[in-house]
Structure 1
Amino acid sequence: MQRLAIGKATSCDTDQDSLVIGSDQVCVIDDKIVGKPLDRENAIKQLLAQSGKTITFYTGLAVHNTATNHTEVGFDTFEVHFRDLTLEQIERYVDREEPFYCAGSFKSEGMGICLFNKLAGKDPNTLVGLPLIDLIDMLQKQGFEVL
């Protein structure tokens, strides 16, 4: 995920001096990377596999300075503890939110929060794909003052 974040941050073609942000995220359950489900059937399968378990998100982050060609790189982790869910609960959730293009088959910023009994990590923004606390640190290292 760090490699993809770097690729995103450094692929911007610009003549201006800029700071370009790239991020990428993977979801891991039972030591396997879980991709985006892409359809209803796969979303239901993923959520059934996650029911009652803890999954981990790894989010890579890169800030590329086009003026200096320097890239700050890092990553953050975030754990999601799932409730024990029934097939009916999962189907209702998937039909309501259609999380087909979301890592882990849920949208934590919406009804997906109902699927969890605990969240653990230093920055809740990591779960939606952009660890803002780390981003602020990286921007400051590049000389950009956020405040």
Structure 2
Amino acid sequence: MKNLDSLDRRILRELQKDGRLSNTELSERINLSQTATTERVKRLTRDGYILGYTAKLSPKKLDRAMLVFVEIKLDRTTPDVFATFAAATRRNPDVMECHMVAGGFDYLIKARVADMEHYRRFLSDALLSLPGVRETHTYAVMEEVKESSALPV
């Protein structure tokens, strides 16, 4: 972040709040000309600070109201087992995030499903059926206290 000045940071903060801002609205919010704003956004994108734009969807309305976190412990940690596991999780639409972690288990998965019945099916068909999976621990979320993808800028 060494190359970012205060205007760059303001642009990033505003776009994190609302990625649909027009260049005109953005330039007004940061008090900079439209041309200069456009050039800064292009540079921030080219330099990899802005990775893309998405819409935030309602899990409840899309029948994905149940959020679960699953710890996965593998029986062996070999490159082929890691590759197979990673490929399977990338293909699975129920998996929102999958992280290889250090500590008492190997992977942490964040998944969204409709309900407990769907979760049981997801667990048996998508996770426990993978080669190398030895153990899982599931944490069903009762209340989402804070959910954000915004980074401090």
Q: Does the TM-score normalized on the shorter chain lie above 0.5?
A: no
TM-score, normalised to structure 2, is 0.22
TM-score, normalised to structure 1, is 0.23
Computing the radius of gyration over CA atoms, which structure comes out larger, 1 or 2?
Answer: 2
* Structure that is richer in strand per residue: 1
